[in-house]
């Protein structure tokens, strides 16, 4: 395993640019590489990677491996796995980092299965143990109700996917020097077993739950599909998105795509307003990253108050209309 050296970031390109997660990974990857006294390299895949190699160097990479192939323009699990695995078997990275994105969630475990490494998914922090020089990955378990640290003693590469926005992006320095290295070898089309037939973009009405600065979520206590409109109205006035707990979705009051929690979406808005929901472990898992959590519940014993920053103990039907009206007034002023 001493033959494994360096940190390799698996980059992602979104609309011709380096994806934000990749710039974040370059920041943390640079730090890990410096602590180990080793190189930071990056793999970029796609046919339009043009100037991105130099940009990746500006963000901290020493070497950028560029795999140019139109088969790599969109994510293809078989093709990406093949290219990334081949590169790992050439450069033997000690650490490999990916984003916890659609791509990383698919590619990382598969690559790990092929390479026999050690992988920690959805990490919140990455560091090097000063004594052992091992990668220490901190990740949420049990829906974020506990944190575990994970190491790979002998399996290589040590792999991790990093959750978005958990580290600051790398700083750009255009005077940095580095090497852009084309990846040799063509993709073997016979290894592409799964065919991408179509890609469908779904338009969401209003603000997307994951991107919203404000999320207003309702729980079982809302009581009916009609009353959920009170929650929607507050979200509309705040320019935010509507969320719901699993029981509220199970009741059919909102589409299941709006479920916040362990089995739904994980959100981290500036403001999360939790209305008439008790705060089960699985729900809290989806909103703990919010900057401010507000709880409105008539039961002062409800668990949601234990994670909230502000709360009102009262029936939501007596609170929300006044809250919505006041926000409307304040925001129009």
Partner 1 sequence: MHTIVCVKQVLDPEIPPAKFKIDPEAKEVIPPPGVPPVISVFDERAVEAACRLKDKHGGKITVISMGPGNVADVVKHAISMGADEGFVLQDEAFESLDSFGTAYVLGKAIQKIGGYDLVLCGRYSADWGAGQVGSILAEILGIPVVTLACDIEAVDEKLRVKRIVKDGYEVLEAPMPSLVTVSSEIGLPRLPAGMRLMIARRAQIPVWTAQDIGPESSQLDKANAHTEVTSLSLPTRKTECEIITGDNPGEAAVNLALKLIKLI
Q: Does 259 bind partner 1 (CB under 8 A)?
A: yes
For residues 72 and 297, what is the distance between their CA atoms, to the nearest angstrom?
Answer: 50
Distances (CA, A) of 257 to 143, 212, 236: 18, 15, 18
Which residues are within 8 A (CB) of 149 and not within 5 positions of it... i.e. 6 or more apart? 136, 137, 138, 139
Long-range contacts of 251-258 (CB under 8 A, 24+ apart): 251/220, 251/225, 252/225, 253/218, 253/222, 253/224, 253/225, 253/228, 254/218, 254/228, 257/209, 258/209
Which residues are within 8 A (CB) of 17 and not within 5 positions of it... i.e. 6 or more apart? 52
For residues 64 and 11, what is the distance between their CA atoms, to the nearest angstrom?
Answer: 10
Q: Does 150 bind partner 1 (CB under 8 A)?
A: yes
Stretch of 23-31, 56-64, 173-181, 309-317 lying at the interface with partner 1 (CB under 8 A)? 309-317
**Between residues 181 and 312, which has the closer beta carbon with respect to partner 1?**
312
**Between residues 133 and 309, which has the closer beta carbon with respect to partner 1?**
309
- Tell which one of 60, 117, 178, 219 touches partner 1 (CB under 8 A): 117
Stretch of 23-31, 35-43, 218-226, 310-318 lying at the interface with partner 1 (CB under 8 A)? 310-318
Is the distance from CB of 194 to CB of 79 less than 8 angstroms? no
- Tell which one of 246, 266, 286, 287 touches partner 1 (CB under 8 A): 246
Instruction: Restricting to residues 267-296, name those near partner 1 by CB under 8 A.
Output: 270-271, 278-282, 284-285, 288, 291-295
Q: Does 299 bind partner 1 (CB under 8 A)?
A: no
Q: Does 326 bind partner 1 (CB under 8 A)?
A: yes
Instruction: Restricting to residues 198-237, name those near partner 1 by CB under 8 A.
Output: 198-202, 210, 213-214
CB atoms within 10 A of CB 235: 22
Site of tokens 């707990």: 245
- Tell which one of 29, 118, 221, 286 touches partner 1 (CB under 8 A): 118
x/- string (CB under 8 A) for partner 1, residues 58-77? Answer: -------------------x
Q: Rounded to the nearest whole angstrom, what is the least distance from the CB of residue 63 to partner 1 in the complex?
A: 26
- Tell which one of 70, 145, 173, 179 touches partner 1 (CB under 8 A): 145
C-alpha dihedral (106, 200, 43, 128), degrees to nearest 10: -40
- Tell which one of 37, 153, 205, 224 touches partner 1 (CB under 8 A): 153
Instruction: Restricting to residues 92-111, name those near partner 1 by CB under 8 A.
Output: 101-102, 105-106, 108-110
**Between residues 172 and 326, which has the closer beta carbon with respect to partner 1?**
326
Q: Rounded to the nearest whole angstrom, what is the least distance from the CB of residue 223 to partner 1 in the complex?
A: 16
- Of 215, 296, 225, which is closest to residue 260 (Cα–Cα)? 215
**Between residues 180 and 285, which has the closer beta carbon with respect to partner 1?**
285
Q: Rounded to the nearest whole angstrom, what is the least distance from the CB of residue 48 to partner 1 in the complex?
A: 19
Q: Does 36 bind partner 1 (CB under 8 A)?
A: no
- Tell which one of 27, 169, 223, 311 touches partner 1 (CB under 8 A): 311
For residue 227, the SS3 value is: coil
Report which DSSP code applies to 119: E
For residue 189, the SS3 value is: helix
> With contacts defined by CB under 8 A, how many residues of the chain interact with partner 1?
96
**Between residues 59 and 272, which has the closer beta carbon with respect to partner 1?**
272
Angle separating helix axes 316-332 and 228-237, nearest 10 degrees: 20
Instruction: Restricting to residues 164-183, name those near partner 1 by CB under 8 A.
Output: none
């Amino acid at each position: 395993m001493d033959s494994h050296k360096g940190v390799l970031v698996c980059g992602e390109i979104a609309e011709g640019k380096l994806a934000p997660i990749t710039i974040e990974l370059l920041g943390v990857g640079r730090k890990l590489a410096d602590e180990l006294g080793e190189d930071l390299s990056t793999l970029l895949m796609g046919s339009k990677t043009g100037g991105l190699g130099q940009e990746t160097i500006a963000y901290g990479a020493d070497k950028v491996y560029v795999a140019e192939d139109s088969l790599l323009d969109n994510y293809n699990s078989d093709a990406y796995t093949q290219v990334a695995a081949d590169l790992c078997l050439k450069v033997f990275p000690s650490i490999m980092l990916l984003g916890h994105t659609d791509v990383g969630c698919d590619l990382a475990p598969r690559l790990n299965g092929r390479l026999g490494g050690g992988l920690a998914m959805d990490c919140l922090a990455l560091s090097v143990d000063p004594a052992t020089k091992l990668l220490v990955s901190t990740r949420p378990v049990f829906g974020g109700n506990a944190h575990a640290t994970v190491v790979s003693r002998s399996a290589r590469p040590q792999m991790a996917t990093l959750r978005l926005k958990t580290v600051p992006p790398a700083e750009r320095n255009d005077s940095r020097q580095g090497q852009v290295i084309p990846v040799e070898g063509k993709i073997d089309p016979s290894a592409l077993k799964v065919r991408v037939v179509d890609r469908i973009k779904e338009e969401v009405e209003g603000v997307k739950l994951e991107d919203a600065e404000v999320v207003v979520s309702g729980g079982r206590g809302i009581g009916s599909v009609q009353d959920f409109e009170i929650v929607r109205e507050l979200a509309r006035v705040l320019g935010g998105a509507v969320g719901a707990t699993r029981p509220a979705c199970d009741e059919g009051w909102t589409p299941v795509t709006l479920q916040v929690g362990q089995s739904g979406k994980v959100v981290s808005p500036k403001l999360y307003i939790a209305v008439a929901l008790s705060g089960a472990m699985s729900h809290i898992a989806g909103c703990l990253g919010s900057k401010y959590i507000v709880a409105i519940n008539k039961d002062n014993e409800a668990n949601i108050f234990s994670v909230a920053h502000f709360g009102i103990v009262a029936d939501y039907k007596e609170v929300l209309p006044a809250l919505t009206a006041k926000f409307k007034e304040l925001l129009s002023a």
